[in-house]
Structure 1
């Protein structure tokens, strides 16, 4: 009889004989779907390239912004210089306007004596004489306050035939545009002997001729502080052509309002 001797262990993989490696490393290449591998390789290559490109663009943008900042700094310094010059010009203009306004205010308070005397000649009654006309200074104001009447006032002394003539003269002065009506008043009014007429002497007789009594008066009044630009018509009536022409010129230039 024959017997079969079968060794099944030889058919198992772990019992199969291993091939002998000869010089070198044996590489095993993956098999199957390689899409994920290709994607990984592409990402690994593309991502650093994109990062490098982004870094290069960022550096270029930084350089451009640095240039713009430098340019803006220079422009800012130039504008600061121009603003300083403009402010300086504004300050100088303001100072000039202030000085001009001060001069205009003083000029607008001028009361020409020619107009004042002509106004007195037009208002004095026939029975009244004027001996002296004196301008009085303004009354000092409190410290830090402007004078109430910077134009000052007038003091008129003279002779009148009667007290009624002095009163008539005062009423006429109160209607003047150059004086304040409420501040015109009679200070003194006294009966005195009429002064001798110059060049006329008493006759050589025993009879003494007595002259009639006259009233010696003193009238004071404050000048009106209305600007001269508001008295143009009155100044024209009194013949003050030069002052009127100057005022009209300043009104045309806008220095004095019309």
Structure 2
């Protein structure tokens, strides 16, 4: 017969062997290369600090930019005010220049009658006599618009010894700087009896003496539109000292170009 030798003492709880503890606590630290661990810890601590420093730096820059923006805004408003003042000054200056130029243009169109009459005396031939000189007012080519020649024109009537003398007189007048040569023309030229000299009459001999015939003419011309400032030498020759002096004074201050 077989016999069973079983030791039941080993199965008792008090007889069981307890596991051995190592290190007092059952935590195991990693071993080997710890560089990744240190890097991770450094990043975990350094990133928040770096972010804080960046935020602080950016807040400072934002404050500085806002202060600069406010300063620039104030300067911009100040410049806008100054620009407005400058624009107003320019507008006032342009208005004054326009008014001054208008006055100068009117002044520069003055034709002194003393100079014109002297010029006509100097140009009248010995065989030609002037009876009347009439000024023709300017006429606008289109109604409602200013005349093209505000100076107007002249109409001269008189007597000449012959038709050739009238033609010669016209040619001489066309050389005048106070008249427009292209608009100087003979309107009429007719033979008439020469008028008797005042205080003389027909002799008492009973014989009627017929007076010689002369040419009664009418010449018309437009005044020159050349500015008076360009006729200074001619005005001086005709003795118009006052106008010449005023023109030269305005040329000195730059109102009228030289």
TM-score bracket for this pair, using the shorter chain length? 0.7 to 0.9
TM-fit CA distance, 1:123: 1.2
Q: Deviations over 1:36-85 (max 9, x none)?
A: 44443333222212211211221111111111111111111111122222
**Aligned partners of 1:143, 1:53: CA distance in 2, in Å?**
84
SS of the residue 1:225 aligns to: coil
Residues paired across the two proteins, number: 246
SS of the residue 1:216 aligns to: strand
Which residue of 2 is the match for residue 113 of structure 1?
Answer: 113
* Runs of 5+ consecutive residues of structure 2 not aligned to the other structure: 1-5
**Aligned partners of 1:169, 1:228: CA distance in 2, in Å?**
24
**Aligned partners of 1:183, 1:136: CA distance in 2, in Å?**
13
**Aligned partners of 2:206, 2:144: CA distance in 1, in Å?**
67
TM-score calculated relative to the size of structure 2: 0.79
**Aligned partners of 2:213, 2:45: CA distance in 1, in Å?**
134
SS of the residue 1:177 aligns to: coil
Q: Deviations over 1:141-182 (max 9, x none)?
A: 236866332321101122333333323322221221111222
TM-score calculated relative to the size of structure 1: 0.79
Which residue of 1 is the match for residue 27 of structure 2?
Answer: 28
TM-fit CA distance, 1:113: 0.7
Structural mapping, 1:60-75, within 5 Å: 60-75=60-75
Which residue of 1 is the match for residue 235 of structure 2?
Answer: 235
**Aligned partners of 1:32, 1:100: CA distance in 2, in Å?**
102
Q: 1:129 to 1:27 in 2, by over 3 A?
A: farther
**Aligned partners of 1:16, 1:39: CA distance in 2, in Å?**
44
Q: 1:42 to 1:211 in 2, by over 3 A?
A: same
SS of the residue 2:215 aligns to: strand
**Aligned partners of 1:151, 1:142: CA distance in 2, in Å?**
17
Q: Deviations over 1:76-124 (max 9, x none)?
A: 1111122222222222222222222222222222211110010011111
Which residue of 1 is the match for residue 3 of structure 2?
Answer: none
Q: Deviations over 1:177-226 (max 9, x none)?
A: 11122221111223334445445566777655554433322110111212
Between 1:165-174 and 1:232-241, the stretch displaced more is 165-174
**Aligned partners of 2:202, 2:152: CA distance in 1, in Å?**
43
SS of the residue 1:171 aligns to: helix
TM-fit CA distance, 1:29: 6.2
**Aligned partners of 1:112, 1:206: CA distance in 2, in Å?**
51
SS of the residue 2:129 aligns to: strand
SS of the residue 2:243 aligns to: helix
* Runs of 5+ consecutive residues of structure 1 not aligned to the other structure: none
**Aligned partners of 1:16, 1:131: CA distance in 2, in Å?**
165
**Aligned partners of 2:113, 2:83: CA distance in 1, in Å?**
49
Q: 1:31 to 1:211 in 2, by over 3 A?
A: closer
